[in-house]
Chains A and B, each alone.
Chain A
Amino acid sequence: MSASPPTSEYRRREQSITLSPLGEQLEQSHDEQQTSQELLTLNFGPHHPATHGVLRLLVTLRGEIVHDIKPIVGYVHTGIEKTAEDKSYWKVIPVIERMDYLAYHFNSLAYIGAVETLAEVVVPTRAEYLRVIHMELNRIMSHLVWLGTSALDLGAISMFWYCFREREQINDLFEMSTGQRMHTRYFQIGGVAEDVPVGWTEKLRGFVKRMPSSLDQYGDLLNSNEIVLQRLRGTCALDAETLLSLGVTGPLLRAAGNPWDLRKAAPYSCYGDFDFKIPVGTVGDNYDRFAVRMAEMHESVKIIDQALEGLPEGPYITTDRKVALPPRHELATSMEALIHHFKLVTEGLRVPPGEAYYPIEGPRGELGCFVRSDGSSKPARVHMRDPSFVNLQAFSRMAEGSYIADMIATLAMLDPILGGIDR
């Protein structure tokens, strides 16, 4: 490891202290200090209050300074991709949703997008708008949970309750439209499973009105808090080229200055219709990561507002009977509808053979799904490219040379979701 000069203010001050007789030991030059102290290996987790999920870290310490971190994952490996090969295309959706458990709509869109690419299904506009609304609500919810648990890690414990209060409102919205709070299985191949009930748009409008002021309150709570600033400003910065070579995407990359966001760069679904900004940081330290996510929540509220204003009338699922179930009233009159219904429910839909990779912008970065189909009604291979799995490789580089407390703050700002890492 290269001897990096101390970056944050208190490390600089520490170098200038003169104490005696301990002072001589402390006044040793930085390089001598590096070699004279032993390395201590500390095992964090997998059960630890500061880890976000069951992440195990083998931290090699020199005194209190982190020398190296080896993450060990796999403690919540669920064999989702293998299970997906065993089930028909529709039945894979609930399984895939449970991968990155805070971004369930994103997981399902990545998979459904890949299948729709293979099966060449056209999704009606109303369904696209509903999908975008649900995904942006999910993005806000994921960032709220991130904010609550990160603030909890830093010690700002009351943020947890405020964030979860907003999260409950979003969960109420999900429950009203889809019937479930989490893992809603709302997105369906060809559109969405059901149209939204009467009154949902009014409730959503009320939420959109209230949310920006709540976000401002959270900003006020944290942005001028001395402890938060000291812990986050200037700690564990990493530049954009290193992040790119490590494959990091999402808010971490944007905090380092690279404005790469798939919603703007390669608009999928109907993101091209909306006007929103991409928050970008400058330095790439923990404070920028925090600020980027806070600003992203504001932008998501704007997207939802615009989607709500522009929500078109129309079908909520494709009319292609080979892909989507026919409406119930048709079953009484049309023989083809009955046969389609039967085939779809018993065997499942058949997708032409081929391979497709569908990337979307999840709350943590590029979430992609690779589906290989061999022409039958079950996928032959489903692979989710999870952003947290790839972002975790950057953790060691980020936290090198910093204190343990900074490492914990960096882990909080990294926002790893172990369900996605381990699948």
Chain B
Amino acid sequence: MEVKRDRLGGAGDGAGSAAPVDPRTLRVRDANARQLLRGGEIEGLTPAIELERNDDFDLERHVQERVLTTTLDKAVAWARSNSFFPATFGLACCAIEMMSIVAARVDVARFGFEAFRASPRQADLLILSGRVSIKMAPIVRRIYDQMLEPKWAISMGACCSSMGVFNNYALVPADKFMPIDVHVPGCPPRPEALMHGVLKLRKMVQDDPDMGWRERYDAVGTEETLRGA
């Protein structure tokens, strides 16, 4: 398998080569993409594909700009996306529908995700299913912190995505204390809906596993590491 590598910045060897910085290099495209996401335009940059102008326009361009180039990275992303280990994390009613996706009708094992790990250290997908109360929120955060990189989170159901049916003193929407990649609406969402959310996440991970969430949420430095290590 031939691996193509791109030089970063175009000036890896030799001193002061005056080669102009190719706008298609990864670092430049990364910076452009962040600029796009903040709402700015970039001169001289034509998108690779003409996309329809709709509400997701900037996000689509962002995803396009960040598409990986190397085949090895693509292979790794493919492997990661097809082998999520969800953490067993059922909170309330949505947990019953999450158990339904493990059951035979909407079979999550078809996609390779049936290995629900009990320990967060071994899991990489946290499906927050159910309402997060204020007593539970620090514990969810702790479990999420214990998961190892790369990790993703799906907020299943209306209660953790927004406040759901209950808009009161006792609940916290999950976005307030942890980064969520996919929100699945419903109360409770049908197993097919949750499967759609998981598959959407799979597609996102195939395109770009990192998705720069630490930069997006200004969360650099929040990794939980052993003291003294």
Contacts and interface: CB of A to CB of B under 8 A. Distances in A.
A311 B136 CA distance: 45
Contacts of A49: 88, 118
Contact of B166 (A80, A145, A418): A80
Interface string A363-406: 00000000000000000000000000000000000000000000
Of the listed residues A78, A161, A168, the one surrounded by the most CB atoms of chain B closer than 10 A to its CB is A78
Interface stretch (A22-30, A95-103, A189-197, A224-232): A95-103
Contacts of B90: 53
Nearest to B97: A182
B181 to A, nearest CB: 20
A182 B96 contact: yes
Contacts of B169: 79, 82
Contacts of B92: 53, 76, 78, 98, 101, 418-419
Contacts of A411: none
Interface in A134-182: 145, 148-149, 160-161, 164-165, 167-168, 181-182
Contact of B91 (A53, A102, A164): A53
Given A54-B136, A165-B104, A422-B133, A145 B171 contact: no
Interface in A75-129: 75-80, 82-83, 86, 94-95, 98, 101-102
Contact of A164 (B99, B139, B187): B99
Contacts of A418: 92
Given A182-B93, A422-B133, A160 B103 contact: yes
Contacts of B131: 76, 78
B103 A77 contact: no
A315 interface: no
Interface residues of B, number: 35
A219 interface: no
A78 to B, nearest CB: 5
A160 B96 CA distance: 12
Given A53-B95, A164-B99, A183-B187, A77 B170 contact: yes
B166 A79 contact: yes
24 contacts: A46-B136, A47-B139, A75-B91, A75-B135, A76-B92, A77-B170, A78-B133, A78-B159, A79-B166, A79-B170, A82-B169, A82-B170, A95-B165, A95-B166, A98-B166, A98-B187, A101-B92, A101-B96, A160-B102, A164-B99, A164-B102, A164-B105, A168-B103, A183-B188
Interface of A: 46-49, 53-54, 74-80, 82-83, 86, 94-95, 98, 101-102, 145, 148-149, 160-161, 164-165, 167-168, 181-183, 418-419, 422
